[in-house]
Amino acid sequence: MFSRITGIGSFLPGEPVSNADLARRGIETNDEWIASRTGIRFRHLAEGAETSSGLGLEASTRALAAAGVEAADLDLIIVATSTPDFIFPSTACLLQGKLGNRGATAFDVQAVCSGFVYALVVADKFIRSGSHRRALVVGAEVFSRILDWSERGTCVLFGDGAGAVVLEASDRPGILSTALHADGAHHGILSVPGSVSGGKVIGDPFLRMDGQAVFKFAVRVLAEVGEECCAAAGIPPSAVDWLIPHQANVRIIEATAKKMRMPMDRVVVTVDRHGNTSAASVPLALDEAVRDGRIRPGHKVLLEGVGGGFTWGAVLLEF
């Protein structure tokens, strides 16, 4: 028993917000400062009433339509998010209710920017075990809610959005290999170090990051896990048709590709238009590359994620 992606969908809220738009909102920054350091020029920001489950619903509806599958046919729903609608119930259960599905296994995965890769691996294991046959895997984030908009070093980096895939049982391999890792010793370089207790915020409720430390760590582990995943499938990185790394910073993407000896014309880049959408970044980029025709049947695609925790992982697919 194997699993294959049969449908992909994505959703971005509102109109693109440019770097110049942020400057006009009172943030001490400009287009040249942001673009030269990160490659980011636009991002999308959710309105006040929009939620991760709402963004996920839009992406899921498109993925289900692409797969020709009804929501009632799903027996597994996994949502990767670090910005859930509520403390509980899970965003997956809220999405399940909005889709009108009843009875499917539903839960969230919290691995920050690696979340979608983690969730896809978990769904693959469920299907390969024979216990489930049709899964919806979603990455959805409203990171704008946890940003300190007075800290220009972080607030300009992130955006909101959602991406989803339908993963179905198949007698033909679709997911060729996977690898997941974590090291909690590095939690301090990227975190939201706050919580809620007794109705009050305890600690710091905003995202805090040591940018240089994150850069060095991310480039190293993304290259390593990509090579690990290729080795597990018995192919060299040169046999990969497309690399889709987590879309955090174009410098990280370029450095990772260089370490893996992957030319940039075989790397999918959307960070310039989406910013860092955390768990949504990989499925957003995957959906774009499938819809514009770059990814075609028979192509091998390497998905990679790295995020706070620290967590990191990779999935090698064949379409």
- The whole-number pLDDT of residue 28 equals 87
Are both 48 and 121 inside the same structural domain? Answer: yes
Query: Is 246 among the catalytic positions?
Result: yes
Rounded Cα–Cα distance for residues 262 and 259 (Å): 8
**Residue 287 maps to which CATH number?**
3.40.47.10
Are both 164 and 296 inside the same structural domain? Answer: no
Instruction: Identify the CA nearest to 110 among candidates 136, 127, 135, 87.
Output: 87
Are both 86 and 200 inside the same structural domain? Answer: no
Rounded Cα–Cα distance for residues 67 and 42 (Å): 30
Are both 118 and 145 inside the same structural domain? Answer: yes
Query: Is 274 among the catalytic positions?
Result: no
Are both 82 and 165 inside the same structural domain? Answer: yes
Where among 171, 195, 223 does a domain terminate? 171
Asked if residues 72 and 51 have their Cβ atoms less than 8 Å apart, the reply is: no
The pTM score is 0.97
Query: Is 229 among the catalytic positions?
Result: no
- The whole-number pLDDT of residue 218 equals 97
Where among 171, 187, 217 does a domain terminate? 171
Instruction: Identify the CA nearest to 161 among candidates 84, 85, 251, 52.
Output: 52
Are both 114 and 196 inside the same structural domain? Answer: no
Q: Which domain covers residue 295, as residue numbers? A: 176-318
Ranges of residues in the chain with a pLDDT under 50 are none
Are both 33 and 132 inside the same structural domain? Answer: yes
Asked if residues 64 and 166 have their Cβ atoms less than 8 Å apart, the reply is: yes
Are both 101 and 139 inside the same structural domain? Answer: yes
Domain count, the chain: 2
Are both 96 and 13 inside the same structural domain? Answer: yes
> In whole angstroms, how far apart are CA 151 and each of 56, 99, 138, 146, 156?
28, 37, 29, 12, 9
Are both 159 and 208 inside the same structural domain? Answer: no
Tokens of 194: 């706050």
Are both 29 and 150 inside the same structural domain? Answer: yes
The active-site residue, picked from 230, 246, 249, 274, is 246
The active-site residue, picked from 19, 93, 101, 113, is 113
Asked if residues 302 and 316 have their Cβ atoms less than 8 Å apart, the reply is: yes
Are both 162 and 200 inside the same structural domain? Answer: no
The active-site residue, picked from 19, 101, 249, 276, is 276
